[in-house]
Amino acid sequence: MVIAVYPGSFDPVTYGHLDIIYRASSSFDQVIVGVLCNSAKSPLFSGEERVNILKKVTDDIPNVTVKQFDGLSVNFAIENQAGVIVRGLRAVTDFEYELQMAQTNRVLAPNVDTIFLTTSLEYAYLSSTTMKEVAAFGGDISKFAPPLVVEAIRDKMNL
Applying CB under 6 A, does 73 fall inside the site for ligand PNS?
A: yes
Hey, is 142 helix, strand or coil? coil
Please confirm, yes or no, whether 17 is among the known catalytic residues: yes
Contact with ligand PNS (CB under 6 A): which of 72, 89, 124, 148? Answer: 72
Contact with ligand PNS (CB under 6 A): which of 33, 36, 54, 126? Answer: 36
Between residues 68 and 120, which has the closer beta carbon with respect to ligand PNS? 68
Query: What strand order describes the sheet that includes 113-118?
Result: 64-69, 30-36, 3-8, 84-89, 113-118
- What is d(CA 45, CA 153) in angstroms, rounded to the nearest whole number? 9
Beta bridge partners of 88: 117
Hey, is 88 helix, strand or coil? strand
Applying CB under 6 A, does 119 fall inside the site for ligand PNS?
A: no
17, 50, 87, 132: the active-site residue:
17
**Could you list the residues that contact ligand PNS (CB under 6 A)?**
7-9, 36, 72-73, 101, 104-105
Residues annotated as catalytic (active site), given as ranges: 17, 41, 90, 128
